[in-house]
A and B are shown apart, each in its own frame.
Chain A
Amino acid sequence: MTHLPYLIGAFSVFVLVLVADALGSWLRLRNARQLALRRQERLRARDTAPATAPLATELSR
C-alpha cells in the first residue's frame, strides 16, 4: 500500500475526533446526571429538615 503514513495519520485523526466526541458526550451526560441528582438530594433534605430554626425569635428582636 502506497502513502501508508498519510493514511495512518488521516484515519487516526478521524477516529480520534469521533472517539473524543463520544467520550465528551458521555462525560457531559454523566456530569449533568450527577448535578441533577445532587440538587434533588439538597431539595429533599431541605423539605424534610425539622423546622427548628428560631425564625420567630429573629423576627421578634
Chain B
Amino acid sequence: MNALTRWFHQLGSPPTFDRFAARWSRVFYVAAVPVLLIGLWQGLFVVPAEQKQLDAFRILYIHVPSAWMSLFVFALMALYSAIALIWRIKICEILAMACAPMGAGFTLITLLTGSIWGKGTWGTWWDWDPRMTSELVLLFLYLGVIGLYHAIEDRRSAARAAGLLAIVGVSLLPVIRYSVDWWGGLHQRQSINMFGDNAVRGQLIAPLWWMVVATKLWFAGSLLAKARADNLAREAGKAWVAERFATGPAGEIPR
C-alpha cells in the first residue's frame, strides 16, 4: 500500500480525522478571510461600473460564486453519501451531512441576492422562471436532507436515509444548469465560463475568481468544523476522546 492510500485509510479513522479537521478547518477559515476581502474590495471599489446594469452588476460577484457553490456542495454531498452507503465509511456519512447547512446557506444567498439584483435590473423581486424555481427546489432539498438527518434518532440510520435523499436529489442539478437553455425564461443564459469564452469583459472578471476561491476556502473550513463537531458528538464515550479531552490542572478544555 503506498503512502497516499495509507493516509486516506488513516483519515477514515475518527481520531485521525479529528486531528486533521482541528488543524485544517482553522487554516481554511484563516486563508478565506483575506481572499474574501480582496474579492469584495475589488468587486465593490476597483472595477468600473458596467455599461447597461451600472453598479447593480457588482451583486453578481457574490451571486454567481454562491450559485456555483450551491450546486457543487450538493454534488459533493451526494458523492460522500454514495461512498458512505457503498463502503459504510462513517467519516463520509459525517462529511455528507456536514455539507448540507453551508450548501443551504449558499442556496439562500443565491436566491436572495438574485432577487435583489432582479429588483434593481428587471424591476421584480421574483418570477416563476425555470432557473429560479429549480434553485428554490434545491433549497427545499437541502432543508429536507437536514430535517431528515435530525428527525431520526440513530445517527447512522439518519445519515443513510438523508444520504439517499441527497443521491436522488442530485438529478435536479442538470435541470438547474440547463433550465435556461431548455425552457428559456427571464434568467439570462450562462455568460461566464470557467474554461470557455466569457460574455463579460475580462476587466470585470478578476474579482469573480477571487470570490470563487474565497467561497471554496470558506466552505472547506466550515465543512471540516461541522464534521469535527458531529464526529466528536458520535464518539463522545470512546477512549481517544478521553485522551484528547484530558483536562489540565485548571480544568481547561483543550481545543
Q: State the A residues within 8 Å of B (CB).
A: 1-4, 6-7, 9-11, 13-14, 17-18, 20-22, 24-26, 28-29, 31-37, 39-40, 43-44
Contact = CB atoms under 8 A, between A and B. Distances in A.
B81 interface: no
Contacts of B105: 17-18, 20-21
Contact of A17 (B49, B109, B225, B236): B109
A25 B229 contact: yes
B137 interface: no
A38 to B, nearest CB: 9
A2 B51 CA distance: 12
16 contacts: A1-B55, A2-B54, A4-B55, A6-B117, A7-B58, A17-B109, A21-B222, A22-B29, A25-B225, A25-B226, A28-B226, A29-B225, A31-B233, A32-B236, A33-B245, A37-B247
B237 A39 contact: yes
B226 A10 contact: no
Contacts of A22: 29, 221-222
Interface stretch (B1-9, B59-67, B149-157, B159-167): B59-67
Contacts of A31: 229, 233
Interface of B: 25, 29, 36, 40, 44, 49, 54-56, 58-59, 62-63, 66, 101-102, 105-106, 108-109, 112-113, 116-117, 119-120, 218, 221-222, 225-226, 228-230, 232-233, 235-237, 241-242, 245, 247, 253
B245 A13 contact: no
Contacts of B36: 18
Nearest to A13: B112
A14 B62 contact: yes
A3 B50 CA distance: 12
A14 B109 contact: yes
Chain A residues touching B, majority SS: helix
Given A6-B56, A29-B232, 17 more contacts: A1-B49, A6-B119, A10-B112, A13-B112, A14-B62, A18-B36, A21-B222, A28-B225, A28-B226, A29-B229, A32-B228, A33-B253, A35-B236, A36-B245, A37-B247, A39-B236, A39-B237
A29 B230 CA distance: 8
Q: Which of B25, B225, B247 has the most CB of A within 10 A?
A: B225
A18 B54 contact: no
B113 A10 contact: yes
A44 B58 CA distance: 57
